[in-house]
């Protein structure tokens, strides 16, 4: 082996280029790493700072230029407590009994969680981190109690969380089930594997249009079904929940393949002899899955769900194409909210919403990572 | 034959096959899902061969039986509007290819470096870099200083400060910190940074050009590449490289000639994934391109804006045209992507 290596061109080279090559070689550790780091710095850190400044300013376009006035947290205040509150959080107009009940349950749940954490183990960093998680959960719980459970519409935060939590949950369950079915010893696995993967390839814009055609009650492929059910004049895009669910179905159609592919690979990497030994011992299929297969694939499952949640928060194409955020603001995701604010040249509000999205994403993902992924991987 | 009917139906004879009753349930579930997956694609496909009358007069399902396929949508696309279509298609191809090549190359170099070398960058130096360059960019934005002048003097000040101050900084970062920071960039929703990136490219007069979009996509996809490739490089035995190094082969050569070929399956998976993301990306392209650099997703989305309502037939044809290259690539590389994603997910 060593003899082969000696003839590599890196070794014998014309003298004039030797200095440069040696310089490259000596500094290779820097040449390898820093281009990536510097590019990310330039494209994320500086824009992030600029975005923060914009979020704290009021920007007005006048004539050819624009003027910027620093207004501290006024933009955030407007979104959270001011005239844009209905748009971001929802309409608060009195709580119903159910609303109070949900709010009380959330509060009690959080309190129990705090007490049980403090009694079991306590580190300062762990406590501060959990404090943010608790605060966020409490806020979202009360927001939902005052809007959803009191019969008032909620804003883009609630919609985004609906897409992420309900959507990703359903996608995970269906993706995992399909992967499990495909990992059984059946014929035609290769066929299903390829077909199930296809939706991931299609541009989200295309998915949006395709599902708009699917959902058309008069000209779409299912219009006979709608007619038969007496829903010919039902416009799903005019009903908030129907519209949200349709967008979620389109999103699931596209992303279930991702979970399916990764989970299938994970299921197939579980050693066959474990499963066979359990089968010989007479364990049922469900027992084998629960006690042998599932513990083996849990780390992958947690990670793939985390990736999906991260990407899920960025949803914008589907609501934009399928409903343009309507009816009203019912299907508007936070990215779309920021995009619309940008279109109306309100850069300050747009950046503020984008920052709120960043905050929500980071809190959710870091909580999920620390409380679920790390624990599962270590266990 | 002591097995009861239920046993015969639901208990497998051997562990390498499933029982007939279970099989019926499994197959019906799988075929149901196949129908759910394929039907929208089928519908888009046949819609591209329908005339406006066929589309607007209620659903027709089977070509040659329900309706007579017409090529007029394809004609619109490739004969009357061929300039727009072709330009967007070429733009998408160029942008997807170059940005994928860029992020895979730069990203795997960084991933290799993090897997093999040890870095101890000083936290203070990085903060100083951000501060100095931040001030430099601020002068560009607020006082209209030329961006070349500003960045050159920023770098000069930074180098000067590093040489004079760096030994006072104590806090050091490790490879793990760098890796975590790079991967965590994926959490950053593009909407947060897109306006400043837009303003940045406006400042250097690169809006609506290929370079702007290629650069942005390259950076956006770097975290995925670093994440997936890092685990691949860690799974490659080190001794091969060590012996090459003892023979005096240069690092760059080792990387190019030994490491990259060994991680072929990981590269294939990563390339495919990044290519799909770059090919389908919408939000950033919406901001960064107006006409010349318009990509396919923007073209498809713009079909909504016409005076005649949505041209479903033409739009379906565009979607089909967009899908074909990706599907071909994906079916060829499909096995790799499962492996590649799995490795990243297990250790990530």
CATH at B253 = 1.10.3720.10
Residues B228 and B151 in one domain: no
Q: Are A222 and B35 in contact (CB under 8 A)?
A: no
Q: Do B255 and A351 touch (CB under 8 A)?
A: no
- Least CA distance to B137: which residue of chain A? A46
Residues B257 and B287 in one domain: yes
Q: Are B33 and B42 in contact (CB under 8 A)?
A: no
Q: Compare CB distances from A32 to B112, B187, B246 and report the shortest one's residue.
A: B112
Supply the mean pLDDT for chain A. 83
Please report the pLDDT score of residue A44 as a whole number: 86
pLDDT in tens, chain B (348 residues): 566 777 777 776 666 677 777 888 889 999 999 999 999 999 999 888 888 777 777 777 787 777 778 888 788 777 777 787 888 889 999 999 999 999 999 999 999 999 888 888 888 888 888 888 888 888 887 777 788 888 888 889 888 888 888 778 888 888 888 888 888 888 888 888 888 898 888 888 888 889 999 999 999 999 989 988 887 788 777 777 788 878 877 788 888 888 888 887 788 888 888 888 899 888 899 888 888 888 888 888 877 665 667 778 888 888 888 888 887 777 777 666 666 555 544 443
Q: Which residues numbered 213-272 in A keep a CB inside 8 Å of some CB on B?
A: 213-214, 218-224, 253, 261-262, 264-266, 269
Query: A4 pLDDT exceeds 60?
Result: no
Q: Do B191 and A316 touch (CB under 8 A)?
A: yes
- Least CA distance to A203: which residue of chain B? B280
Query: A317 pLDDT exceeds 50?
Result: yes
CA distances from A262 to A174, A377, B91, B343, B346 (A): 13, 17, 31, 10, 10
Domain that holds residue B321: 81-119+175-347
Residues B16 and B124 in one domain: no
Whether residue A327 has a cis bond before it, omega within 30° of 0: yes
Residues B2 and B100 in one domain: no
Q: How far apart (Å, rounded) are the C-alpha atoms in residues A39 and A280?
A: 56
Residues B97 and B165 in one domain: no
Test mutation, A10, A24, A322, chain B, max B CBs within 10 A: A10
- In this predicted complex, what is the ipTM? 0.83
Please report the pLDDT score of residue A377 as a whole number: 57
Residues B329 and B191 in one domain: yes
Total domains in the fold of chain B = 4
Query: A286 pLDDT exceeds 90?
Result: no
Residues B74 and B195 in one domain: no
pLDDT confidence bin for A61, thresholds 50/70/90 = confident
Q: Are B21 and B10 in contact (CB under 8 A)?
A: yes
Contacts of B209 by beta carbon, 8 Å cutoff, 6+ apart: B292, B293
Q: What is the mean pLDDT of residues A295-314?
A: 87
Residues B184 and B129 in one domain: no
State the first-to-last Cα distance of chain B, in angstroms, to the nearest integer.
52
Query: A5 pLDDT exceeds 50?
Result: no
Domains defined along chain A, listed by start: 13-70 (no CATH), 75-91+153-378 (1.10.3720.10)
What are the backbone dihedrals phi and psi of residue A230, each rounded to the nearest 5 degrees, phi first? 75, 20
What are the backbone dihedrals phi and psi of residue B154, each rounded to the nearest 5 degrees, phi first? -60, -45
User: A230 in the Ramachandran plot: left (φ > 0), alpha (ψ -120 to 50) or beta?
Assistant: left
Chain A residues within an 8 Å CB radius of B185: 40, 44
Q: Against a cut of 0.90, is the pTM above it?
A: no
Q: Do A39 and B276 touch (CB under 8 A)?
A: no
Residues B227 and B213 in one domain: yes
Residues B190 and B243 in one domain: yes
Residues B129 and B200 in one domain: no
Q: What is the pLDDT of residues A120-173, one digit of tens each?
A: 877 888 888 888 888 999 988 888 888 888 888 888 999 999 999 999 999 999
3-state secondary structure chain A: CHHHHHCCCCCCCCHHHHHHHHHHHHCHHHHHHHHHHHHHHHHHHHHHHHHHHHHCEEEEEECCEEEEEECCCHHHHHHHCCCCHHHHCECCCCCCHHHHHHHHHHHHHHHHHHHHHHHHCCCHHHHHHHHHHHHHHHHHHHHHHHCHHHCCCECHHHHHHHHHHHHHHHHHHHHHHHHHHHHCCCCCHHHHHHHHHHHHHCCHHHHHHHHHHHHCCCCCCCHHHHHHCCCCCCCHHHCHHHHHHHHHHHHHHHHHHHHHHHHHHHHHCCCHHHHHHHHHCCCCHHHHHHHHHHHHHHHHHHHHHHHHHHHHCCCCHHHHHHCCCCCCCCCCCHHHHHHHHHHCCCHHHHHHHHHHHHHHHHHHHHHHHHHHHHHHHHC
Give B18's DSSP letter: -
Give B50's DSSP letter: -
CA distance A210 to chain B (A): 6
Q: Do B300 and A203 touch (CB under 8 A)?
A: yes
Chain A residues within an 8 Å CB radius of B255: 32
Last residue of a domain, one of B173, B192, B214: B173
Please report the pLDDT score of residue A63 as a whole number: 65
Q: Do A47 and B196 touch (CB under 8 A)?
A: yes
Q: How far apart (Å, rounded) are the C-alpha atoms in residues A9 and B252?
A: 11
Q: How far apart (Å, rounded) are the C-alpha atoms in residues A204 and A196?
A: 16
Residues B280 and B328 in one domain: yes
């Amino acid at each position: 082996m060593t003899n082969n290596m000696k003839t590599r061109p890196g070794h014998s080279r014309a003298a004039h280029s030797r200095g440069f090559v040696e310089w490259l070689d000596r500094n290779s550790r820097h040449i390898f790493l820093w281009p990536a780091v510097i590019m990310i710095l330039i494209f994320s850190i500086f824009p992030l700072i600029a975005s923060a400044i914009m979020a704290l300013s009021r920007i007005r376009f006048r004539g050819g230029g624009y003027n910027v006035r620093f207004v501290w947290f006024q933009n955030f205040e407007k979104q959270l407590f001011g005239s844009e509150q209905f748009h971001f959080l929802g309409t608060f107009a009195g709580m119903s009994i159910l609303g109070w009940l949900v709010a009380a349950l959330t509060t009690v749940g959080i309190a129990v969680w705090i007490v049980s954490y403090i009694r079991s183990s306590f580190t300062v960093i762990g406590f501060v981190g959990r404090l943010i998680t608790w605060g966020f959960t409490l806020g979202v719980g009360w927001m939902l109690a005052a809007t959803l459970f009191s019969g008032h519409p909620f804003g883009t935060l609630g919609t985004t969380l609906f897409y992420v939590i309900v959507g990703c949950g359903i996608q995970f369950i269906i993706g995992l089930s399909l992967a499990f079915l495909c990992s059984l010893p059946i014929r035609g696995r290769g066929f299903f594997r390829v077909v199930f993967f296809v939706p991931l390839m299609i541009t989200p814009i295309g998915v949006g249009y395709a599902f708009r055609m699917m959902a058309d009650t008069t000209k779409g492929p299912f219009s006979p079904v709608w007619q038969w059910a007496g829903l010919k004049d039902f416009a799903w895009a005019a009903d908030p929940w129907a519209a949200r669910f349709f967008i979620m179905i389109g999103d699931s159609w596209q992303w279930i393949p991702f979970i399916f592919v990764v989970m299938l690979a994970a299921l197939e990497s579980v050693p066959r002899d474990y499963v066979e030994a359990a089968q010989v011992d007479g364990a049922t299929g469900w027992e084998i899955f629960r006690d042998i297969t599932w513990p083996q694939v849990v780390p992958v499952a947690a990670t793939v769900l985390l990736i999906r949640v991260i990407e899920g928060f960025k949803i914008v194409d589907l609501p934009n194409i399928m409903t343009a955020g309507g009816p009203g603001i019912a299907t508007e995701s936070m990215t779309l909210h920021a995009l619309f604010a940008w279109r109306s040249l309100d850069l300050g509000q747009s950046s503020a919403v984008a920052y709120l999205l960043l905050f929500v994403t980071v809190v959710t993902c870091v909580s999920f990572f620390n409380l679920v992924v790390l624990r599962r991987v270590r266990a | 034959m002591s097995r009861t009917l239920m046993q015969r139906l639901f208990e497998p004879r051997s562990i390498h096959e499933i029982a007939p009753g279970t099989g019926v349930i499994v197959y019906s579930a799988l075929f149901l899902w196949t129908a759910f997956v394929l039907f929208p694609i089928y519908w888009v496909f046949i819609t591209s061969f329908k005339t406006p009358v066929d589309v607007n007069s209620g659903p027709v399902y089977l070509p040659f039986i329900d309706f007579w396929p017409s090529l007029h949508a394809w004609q619109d696309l490739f004969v009357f509007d061929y300039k727009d279509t072709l330009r967007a298609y070429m733009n998408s191809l160029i942008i997807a290819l170059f940005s994928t090549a860029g992020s895979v190359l730069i990203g795997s170099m960084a991933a290799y470096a993090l897997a093999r070398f040890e870095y101890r960058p000083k936290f203070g130096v990085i903060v100083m870099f951000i501060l100095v360059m931040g001030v430099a960019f601020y002068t560009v934005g607020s006082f209209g200083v030329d961006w070349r002048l500003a960045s050159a003097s920023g770098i000069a000040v930074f180098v000067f400060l590093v040489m004079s101050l760096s030994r006072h900084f104590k806090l050091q970062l490790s490879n793990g910190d760098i890796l975590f920071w790079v991967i965590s960039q994926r959490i950053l929703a593009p909407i947060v940074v897109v306006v400043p990136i837009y303003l940045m490219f406006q400042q250097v007069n690169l809006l609506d050009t290929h370079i702007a979009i290629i650069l942005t996509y390259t950076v956006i996809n770097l975290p995925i590449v670093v994440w997936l490739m890092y685990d691949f490089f860690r799974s490659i035995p080190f001794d091969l490289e060590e012996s090459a190094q003892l023979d005096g082969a240069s690092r760059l050569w080792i990387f190019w000639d030994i490491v990259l070929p060994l991680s072929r399956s990981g590269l294939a998976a990563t390339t495919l994934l990044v290519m799909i993301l770059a090919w389908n990306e919408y939000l950033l392209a919406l901001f960064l391109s107006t006409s010349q650099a318009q990509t396919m997703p923007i073209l498809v989305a713009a079909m909504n804006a016409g005076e005649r309502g949505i041209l479903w037939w033409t739009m379906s044809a565009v979607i089909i045209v967009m899908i074909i290259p990706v599907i071909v690539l994906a079916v060829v590389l499909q096995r790799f992507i499962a492996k590649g994603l799995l490795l990243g997910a297990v250790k990530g």
